[in-house]
Structure 1
Amino acid sequence: MLPLVQLLRRDEALLGRLMKPRRPRAVVLCPTRELTEQVFRVAKSIGHHARFRSTMVSGGGRLRPQEDSLNNPIDMVVGTPGRVLQHIQDGNMVYGDIKYLVLDEADTMFDRGFGPDIRKFLGPLKSRTSKPDGQGFQTILVTATMTMAVQKLVDEEFQGIEHLRTSSLHKKISSARHDFIKLSGSENKLEALMQVLEPSLAKGNRVMVFCNTLNSSRAVDHFLAENQISTVNYHGEVPAEQRVENLNKFKSDDGDCPTLVCTDLAARGLDLDVDHVIMFDFPLNSIDYLHRTGRTARMGAKGKVTSLLARKDQQLAARIEEAMRKNESLESLTVDNVRRDIARARITEQQGKNAKLVTASNQKSKQQGKSSKLITASNQKSNNKSATVKPPGVRTKASPGVRTKATSSVMKSGKASTPAKSVKVAKRVKSSSATYSRKTSPGVKKQGGKLRVVAFRGRSSSSNKNESLRPS
């Protein structure tokens, strides 16, 4: 606000421009009525010393008092986009002298449905600038956070815009303490809220309880009322005038309503003296987390942030906690992004495990191949050796004039057994199991087509068993 007032004073000194009815030289647009009132109070306090005049036009207020204020000489208009456009259409305000346009909470303006109204307001200003003798204008966008998606929209709408970033953009507030409480499925979340809230209220703290939905906000407010805790509500279904009254009760030093149950409608821009922020419902992205935590520990004061985490919230909370511990930016952390990153990490990990298994399997196959080759070579060597082994008592090749004996005479008790006749080898031995063709001799019986050699022990194997063997 101070740089804007300085520019207006400089133009007055250089160009001699003065205040005129319905022709403001500066317009400040805010997304909510509460933020509009807050900015207007600051502008009014500065105006007492800097001698410039401002007025407020916002939705929810009566049109006639706003129209009367615009009919007076003014330097600045602070308002919501819809109501400002309505006054322009009704002829209560004209573009002619507007030189400075400020968009407060610019990311909200383009991200939550204000884009068409902003473009409609900018249209006449751009047309005026395109004329040869047209007066230019300067646009200033102010925001605590700026996502890549919103920045793309801003760059498309304001070509050649210059970005000025502070070193603390998208980073945690250093003077705030952040606690994360993990809840199991069996725990009652409302009871957990009571365990956190009661000790804080006992210390005299002013507490904001954030919920993600209107139904959740109503449930929390009803539960706290049943437990004799005085609260005020702040969400979209509370009428604008009632929201302002509730904020005044919450900010009052009387301490009658030290607990504000709200949605993210109260997360942006409101300058409140809050000691403790409790997130009953954890936000879906890190940007909303930053805005909620920004309600406490303002202007170097100390503050505390406590988050109640259901199982579905713990992955995003862990990433946010890690980023804050490393003092990293929280710009691109959302539930979907974190889940996608975790899924990708798991896929990469599984692919690595599969690659290791394939490598180990290939190495095992190679080892088995080498072992099988060694076994084959050993078998071949054994076969070669077995092919050269002679059967017992048989020569593989009979020499001319040589005979082999099938039996030998045995001497026992001074008696000699009857010598067996010699047998000629009919043919070469083909294998150790081959059947040999021999002439049948006494003492040799034939069974099953094979020869069985019976040893003689002093008696014949013939039917005459009583006949003694005589020495030959």
Structure 2
Amino acid sequence: MTKFSDLNLNPKVLKAIEEAGYETPTPIQAGAIPPALEGRDVLGIAQTGTGKTAGFVLPMITMLARGRARARMPRSLVLCPTRELAAQVAENFDTYAKHVKLTKALLIGGVSFKEQDLLIDKGVDVLIATPGRLLDHFERGKLILSDVKVMVVDEADRMLDMGFIPDIEKIFGLTPFTRQTLFFSATMASEIERITNTFLSNPARIEVARQATASETIEQGVVVFRASRRDREGSEKRQVLRMMIDAEGDKCTNAIIFCNRKMDVDTVAKSLKKYGYDAAPIHGDLDQSQRTRTLDGFRNGELRFLVASDVAARGLDVPAVSHVFNFDVPSHAEDYVHRIGRTGRAGRSGKAMMICAAKDEKNLEAIEKLIQREIPRLENPMGTITASAEDTVAPREEKKPSRSRNRIRRSGPAQDEVKEAPSETAPVQASAEEVKATDPVQQPTVRETDDQRDPAPRGRDNYRSGTQQRGRGSDNSKILGMGDHMPSFIALSFDERRTS
């Protein structure tokens, strides 16, 4: 059996490995370290959790132990897709290079440019960066990449998913052609293969596991979920998640819960807190300081449940994660392998469970096709679904259509059916006899005909009927546009015009 002492590493590096408690390298480490020490390009393909990080950190420390960096000119470069993975790589360098005098700088977003510029100006042996922040420093004239001797691209397939491939190609063009390149990925998409063929020179290919396979130490299962009503799907799905957690009991010491969308990460974390679960969210929209505190709390055991987007799915090494829950079926089948790879690491056993709604069945089929096995179906812990009252969204009331009086058309008999009833508070209009007795000026203008006034109050519903009766012997006090309280002498003038 191969041991680290057989890999021709620097004695000071071997001492740090021994102090960290490791003796035997993993297959990817045993395959990648010897050709890397020989100066060859390396293409490493291995599933997540197999120790790829140490596979390039250990030979880099050995090769960089001799020499000195110059200001703004790093001697080596490590590219990572996310801030968390870059910080993890930096921690590995601190662990294995503590007996070797090497300087390093971490260039990630969410940190002050000024602090990073000070480190670069002093000169660093190892520069660990995300592609965007690295190019920001270069374009500001704070960084020179012409002295890079070793370049590492970690989690290359994740770089592809996040759209970093154009940046990677640009960075390759800024580094010397004579550099040594170490390229690591869990899967080999066609675009990744094109880049390796373009920028790697006769690489040593180390493939220790079939591409896109899940570790055999992980027990998998899926709950096929059907909501009782469409507007209750979210709340019932969260209830299924809580019941799955409760069913595991003490076996679930800690867990990562993955969601496809950032807004769902916040919603699920808030729901778990509401029901007494120790949970916190982590995704790309949070401040870097908050992301760091949350991740540190989860690693230290202070936080039991980490609700995450795929920002935490790749490369994060939390050694003892007992469970992974996929609240959503990942839209890309490869992401499933990386998500569940957060448990069952370094030979440990783990459990990965997933909730599959009706809309996610096609994605589930794609995952089973990729891993070439059927994921066992688990019984829905809710049985017949009845969502809790606190977590159920009440159905919306149907909005009654508004009736605009300006647009209602009435004609014929239907008009009489919709007339407003007389109001008790409306003023009672005088009859023709009362008008004769009390208003001598009005006497000549009042005619007793079959078309007497409608006793109903004069409103919009009677407006059209009043105008239709004009000119047919109706009361002259009803003149269009003059209102209900028109003086009688004005009505007299209109009456004289009609009779003349």
User: Deviations for 1:316-355, whole angstroms, at most 9, x for unmatched residues?
Assistant: 4356447657599xxxxxxxxxxxxxxxxxxxxxxxxxxx
Partner secondary structure for residue 261 of structure 1: strand
In structure 2, the residue matched to 1:198 is 246
CA contact (8 A) 2:265 2:308 kept: yes
Within-5 A mapping of 1:243-282:
243-254=291-302, 257-272=303-318, 273-282=320-329
Higher relative contact order (CA 8 A, sep 6+): 2
Give the direction of change, closer, same or farther, for the CA distance of 1:87–1:316 in structure 2 (3 Å limit). Answer: closer
- Partner residue in 1 for 2:264: 216
Contact 1:36 1:78 in 2 (8 A): yes
Structure 1 alignment gaps of length 5 or more: 130-135, 329-472
Which deviations, in whole Å up to 9, do the C-alpha atoms of 1:112-166 show, x marking residues without a partner? 22123222222232xx53xxxxxx1122211122223432354355576554322
Q: Which residue does the alignment assign to 1:123?
A: 173
- In structure 2, what residue type is equivalent to 1:247? L
Q: CA deviation at 1:25?
A: 1.4
Aligned counterparts of 1:11 and 1:34: Cα–Cα separation in 2 = 24
Distance change in 2, residues 1:102/1:264 (3 Å)? same
Q: Corresponding residue for 2:364?
A: 317
**Where does residue 424 of structure 2 map in the other structure?**
none
Q: Secondary structure at the match of 1:142?
A: strand
2:208 is equivalent to residue 166 of structure 1: yes
Superposition deviation, residue 106 in structure 1: 0.8
Q: 1:277, CA displacement in angstroms?
A: 0.4
**1:297 to 1:90, Cα distance in 2 relative to 1, 3 A:** same
* 1:306 aligned to which of 338, 353, 377: 353
Q: Does 1:181 align with 2:223?
A: yes
Deviations 1:41-95 (A, max 9, x none): 1011211123333221211111122122223342111111122222233343322
Structure 1 position 235, deviation (Å): 1.1
- Partner Cα distance (1:313, 1:232) in 2: 25
Q: Which residue of 2 aligns with 1:140?
A: 182
Q: Name the aligned partner's letter for residue 261 of structure 2.
A: T
Q: Deviations over 1:404-448 (max 9, x none)?
A: xxxxxxxxxxxxxxxxxxxxxxxxxxxxxxxxxxxxxxxxxxxxx
SS in 1 for 2:207: coil
Q: What's 1:69 paired with?
A: 119
Q: 1:121 to 1:241 in 2, by over 3 A?
A: same
Deviates more, 1:308-317 or 1:101-110: 308-317
Structure-2 separation of matches of 1:211 and 1:218:
10
- Look up the match of 2:45: none
Aligned residue for 1:21, secondary structure, equals coil
C-alpha contact (below 8 Å) 2:255/2:325 kept by paired residues: yes
Q: What is the match of residue 230 of structure 1?
A: 278
Contact 1:201 1:207 in 2 (8 A): no
Give the match's secondary structure for 2:128: strand
Question: Is 1:27 matched up with 2:77?
Answer: yes
Q: Aligned pair count?
A: 315
- If you compute each CA radius of gyration, which structure gives the higher value, 1 or 2? 1
Residue in 2 aligned with 1:60? Answer: 110
Please list every run of 5 or more consecutive structure 2 residues that lacks an aligned counterpart in the other structure: 1-53, 376-500
Task: Give 3-state SS (helix, strand or coil) of 1:44's partner.
Answer: helix
**CA contact under 8 A between 2:368 and 2:374: conserved in structure 1?**
no
Q: Using the alignment, how far apart are the partners of 2:96 and 2:183 within structure 1?
A: 21
Deviates more, 1:216-225 or 1:265-274: 216-225
CA contact (8 A) 2:146 2:174 kept: no
Q: Secondary structure at the match of 1:218?
A: helix
User: What TM-score comes out, normalization by structure 2 length?
Assistant: 0.58
**What TM-score comes out, normalization by structure 1 length?**
0.61
